Chains A and B, each alone.
Chain A
Amino acid sequence: MVTYVFIASAALAVIFGVVAIAHRNPVANVLSLVVVFFALSAIYAVLGMDFLAAIQLIVYSGAILVLFLFVVMLLNIRAVERFGSGRPWQAFLGAVTAIILACLVVLGISELHPAKGSALPGSDKGTAYAIGHALVTTHLFAFELISLLLLAALVGALVLARKESR
């Protein structure tokens, strides 16, 4: 079962990875990359890394790619084609892909059940506990530096994207 989930997720990731770089519409690029990251999240779940699967969904698909989408729509509004323009099979394919992806994530996560005896650290409580513990003990300095880096990136992005008011 795990093998099939992995193969299906990998195939989806490769196919939509190609779409993400080959399609001419930037919005289609971004949304295809969302599909790729969903598939990667399923693969992380198959590998037994539940924390990373959640982070991949929340941070990458939820935050970073939405940021990309904002910028794409901010910059070239005229180049964005309207959706649902006479291609009903596209909507159908999209729905089928979404359902398959949801099934893959659920199947991958269901394999994480502790009764199956995963040997990952802290697998009885999930890997989030072990990772969180290591972040505030062994890797505390790097963890604090990352927060500083994110603050610097926040300020830098504000300064760069600010409108010059002269």
Chain B
Amino acid sequence: MNPGALIPIPYTWVLVLSAVLFAIGTVGVLLRRNGIAIFLALELMLNSVNLAFAAFALRFAAEGGGAAAALNGQIFIFFIIAVAAAEAAVGLALFIALYRLKETIDVDRFNILRW
């Protein structure tokens, strides 16, 4: 299937799944008006990037990067998950503060900085 592979499925399948999930997340960020829904779509995009990291790490390990390549990819994903946790905590606190201010989290209502 793919020579020298560490996994029995082609890496391109994983990358295609990652791309599809990223596209879904992008559509969500662009189309939703509920702030929390936008945030959820953002989390989906972050996870699709993690998946791409995993696929590339295995690919480079299989193509001669050695075991360290696969390990570095996983450590990258670990750090991304930690940063995503911090980002989720601060972002949700922001939405709580905004809700106290305007009684809504519709992002179209927060347009003071528009002009």
How many pairs, one residue from A and one from B, have CB atoms within 8 Å of each other in the complex? 174
Question: Do residues B24 and A68 form an inter-chain contact, with CB atoms below 8 A?
Answer: no
Q: Give the dominant DSSP class at A's interface.
A: helix
* Nearest CB of A to B43, in Å: 7
A95 CB–B CB distance under 8 Å: no
8 A Cβ contacts from A67-81 to B? 67-68, 71-72, 74-76
Tell me the interface secondary structure of chain B in the complex: helix
Interface string of B71-90 (1 = CB under 8 A from A): 11011011101111111111
B74 touches A157 (CB 8 A): no
* Chain A interface, number of residues (Cβ within 8 angstroms): 63
Highest count of chain A CB atoms <10 Å: which of B14, B83, B89:
B89
Q: In the complex the two chains form, is A20's CB within 8 Å of B28's CB?
A: yes
B residues at A contact (CB < 8 Å): 6-9, 13-14, 17, 20-21, 24-25, 27-28, 31-32, 34, 36-37, 39-41, 43-44, 47, 50-51, 54-55, 58, 61-62, 67-68, 70-72, 74-75, 77-79, 81-90, 92-97, 99-100, 105
A-to-B contact residues, CB < 8 Å: 2-3, 6, 10, 13-14, 17-18, 20-21, 26, 29-30, 33, 36-37, 40, 43-44, 46-49, 51-52, 55-56, 59-60, 63-65, 67-68, 71-72, 74-76, 118-121, 127, 130-131, 134-135, 139, 142, 146, 149-150, 152-154, 156-161, 163
